[in-house]
Amino acid sequence: MEYFEITGGTPLHGSITLQGSKNAALPLMAASILHPGRTTLHHVPAIRDVDVMIEILENIGCTVQKDNGTLIIDAAKAEHFEVAASLGERMRSTIILLGSMLGRAGRAKMPFPGGCIIGMRPIDIHITSLGKMGAVFEETDGMLCAVTDGLYGTRIHLRFPSVGATENVILAAVYARGRTRIENCAKEPEIAELCRFLREKGAKIEGEGTSCILVEGVSHLRDSTYTLMPDRIVAGTYLFAAAATRGEICLEGMRPSDMESVLDVLGRMGAVYENREDGFYLDGRKAINPLPVVCTETYPGFPTDLQSQLLATLCVARGRSVIRECIFEERFRIAPWLNRMGADVTTDGREAVIEGKAHLSGQMVKAQELRGGAALVIAALMAQGITRVYGSAFIERGYEDLAGDLRKLGAVISKKKAER
């Protein structure tokens, strides 16, 4: 097993360029199979989830060329619209292929996503919504199977603004007969990115960024080239790392307009920031204030994908903080590891109470999921002594080169392989 070894206590300083967005790359790659032609994507992050998605596309019959952050996907010969169970186990986002497969071929087969360590991710919203558009579902040998003799536009009201369900309905609606109206849809920047990408290919979509998206079905799409947005969760991770270590950093390529709730929290903690010509600057030297209550919410609220990183940062705030997790029910799994490092975190269901300490101490800890793993790295950066964060593979699902980026900012971190 590989791990990150980190010597803490060094404030982060310097400038780095942000990677492309994981949560935009995967839906755009899924969308590429709608068009029996070529899609070129730039600024694609070199992460494990992208590599798994490439394998899935190749198994479907696509050809994929990968070169220094650029993917060229040719879906002309895509014909095997099934995701193998072995690939589904390696990536949680395979469900995003459902809408594209139904739109392109009228059929789809894939493993159920089930639950993961941060909580269940039910797909009933996906199935109900696509069912209203003419898809029929059944379970066969533990696989989700869907068929349709033609999708049609209709009014879809999502009972919860699910990002994945919003993406799937949009993708299914591109070729559906007539107009699809999606109400109570997700407003995340990655949804807007998908809509912009599809418009570049010839889709007729409007309303992204609002609670209602309209899609007018078209008969065909075209070849296109698109550059992905920066990853706002990676940006937030580095901003919290700077605040936790009382450092100063500049992030090139960050879009502050996508991160207003995150910046509000950092400002309340005492950080100072501004958007400059050379990037987004944050001074975390006085980011010591506790936070009475922070609740995770759907966008534009505080993102659940940054809750763990905030939790780690608040472990050394001067006073009591409270975090309420309103999206996933099991996202405080890092609390025992933080307490092992000297933190004082008490959890009760969806609420965590953090009593700030003067410092943390280096220990051996283990990442159990992507964002919690990144939070443990933040804790290690501000701890006294050496920390080993095992389970680096989880972190590499979403971070292109976490250790490399942090070294550029002055951190003492290296990736090593455990001796057997």
Of the pLDDT bands very low, low, confident and very high (cuts 50, 70, 90), residue 1 is confident
Residue 308 and residue 402 in one domain:
yes
Of the pLDDT bands very low, low, confident and very high (cuts 50, 70, 90), residue 88 is confident
Mean pLDDT to the nearest integer, 341-362: 97
Residue 91 has pLDDT above 90, yes or no: no
Q: What is the pLDDT of residue 115?
A: 41
Residue 99 and residue 6 in one domain:
no
Residue 9 is encoded by which pair of tokens?
Answer: 């206590």
Q: What is the pLDDT of residue 64?
A: 98
Residue 187 is encoded by which pair of tokens?
Answer: 């407003």
Residue 30 and residue 100 in one domain:
yes
CATH number, domain with residue 297: 3.65.10.10
Residue 32 and residue 95 in one domain:
yes
Residue 258 and residue 171 in one domain:
no
Final residue before a domain boundary, out of 227, 249, 282: 227
Q: Could you tell me the sign of the dihedral formed by the alpha carbons of 306, 309, 311, 316, in that order?
A: negative
Q: What is the pLDDT of residue 118?
A: 42
Catalytic residue among 116, 145, 295, 326: 116
Structural domain containing residue 238: 2-18+230-417
Cβ neighbours of residue 101 closer than 8 Å, sequence gap 6 or more = 33, 81, 107, 108, 146
Mean pLDDT to the nearest integer, 100-110: 97
CA nearest neighbour of 174 among 133, 150, 205? 205
Write the pLDDT tens digit of every residue in 167-184: 999 999 999 999 999 999
Residue 114 has pLDDT above 70, yes or no: no
Final residue before a domain boundary, out of 205, 227, 249: 227
Q: What is the pLDDT of residue 326?
A: 95
Q: In the chain, how many domains are there?
A: 2
Write the pLDDT tens digit of every residue in 194-220: 999 999 999 999 999 999 999 999 999
Q: Is the pTM of this model over 0.85?
A: yes
Q: What is the pLDDT of residue 121?
A: 59
* DSSP H or E run through 370: helix 370-382
Residue 161 and residue 259 in one domain:
no
Catalytic (active site) residue 116 = yes
Final residue before a domain boundary, out of 192, 227, 262: 227
Residue 166 and residue 251 in one domain:
no
Residue 131 and residue 275 in one domain:
no
Residue 212 and residue 308 in one domain:
no
Residue 201 and residue 317 in one domain:
no
Write the pLDDT tens digit of every residue in 366-410: 999 999 999 999 999 999 999 999 999 999 999 999 999 999 999
Extended strands (E) in 176-260 = 179-183, 204-206, 212-216, 224-227, 248-252
Residue 209 and residue 111 in one domain:
yes
Within 10 angstroms of residue 419's Cβ, the number of other Cβ atoms is 4
Residue 116 has pLDDT above 80, yes or no: no
Residue 271 and residue 314 in one domain:
yes
Write the pLDDT tens digit of every residue in 295-321: 999 999 999 999 999 999 999 999 999
